[in-house]
Amino acid sequence: MAGKLVQVATETVTSAVSSVTLTGINSDDVYMVAINNVAPTVDNTFNMRTTTSGVADSDSQYDVAHQIIKANTSFGTDTNTNGTQWKIASTVGTDTNEQTNHIIYLFNFNNASEYSFFTNENTKLNAVPVLEGFQGGGVHTVAEANDGVNFFVVGGSIESGTFTLYKVI
């Protein structure tokens, strides 16, 4: 992806929040989200949804597939169709130094005639410590314009992290 990044929105979490929403997608350009040092309040998965008019879409139209790359054992896959969110990292824990980091590219989000989809590159460190990565992507099988993304931890909150949305031009 040649070009430059123009920052659209950013949020730094320093105390627990239920979710983080980044909006500002208003063109047919590709967008990128950089997520750094996210730590949850519970041991569970880290997830993403599209937003429409700034509100997370909680329908059952999320399909996702990732290759799980593990430093301590064999690789695996993680797939789901017709889910209520995209899982973008396996279980992230609350122990010291556990965190997840991502580079996510967003495509067709502003196009009401196409499905919104993404690619995800993730690294996660657990308490052992063992490094793990997710490489893959997903599609929201609804032809609608989406203006952003919403991030959350199932059954818990986001304790810390930095989330930044960029337009790729």
Report the C-alpha gap between 79 and 62 in whole angstroms: 11
My answer on whether omega of the bond before 129 falls inside 30° of 0, hence cis, is yes
pTM of the model: 0.94
Q: Residue 142 to residues 4, 17, 114, 115, 119: CA-CA distances in angstroms?
A: 29, 28, 8, 6, 17
Residue 125: CATH number of its domain: 2.60.120
Q: 140 lies in which domain range?
A: 5-168
Residue 97's pLDDT band (cuts 50, 70, 90): confident
In this predicted model, what pLDDT tens digit does every residue of 48-70 receive, in sequence order?
999 999 999 999 999 999 999 98
Kindly tell me if the per-residue pLDDT of 1 is higher than 70: no
Q: How many domains does the chain have?
A: 1
Report the C-alpha gap between 130 and 127 in whole angstroms: 7
141-150: b (≥16 Cβ within 10 Å) or e: eeebbbbbbb
17: which DSSP letter? B
Residue 2's pLDDT band (cuts 50, 70, 90): low
Q: How many CB atoms lie within 10 A of CB 118?
A: 24
Task: Name the token pair of 110.
Answer: 């502003």
Give the per-residue SS3 of 61-129. Answer: CEEEEEEEEECCCCCEEEEEEEECCEEEEEEECCCCCCEEEEEEEEECCCCCCCEEEEEEEEEEECCCC
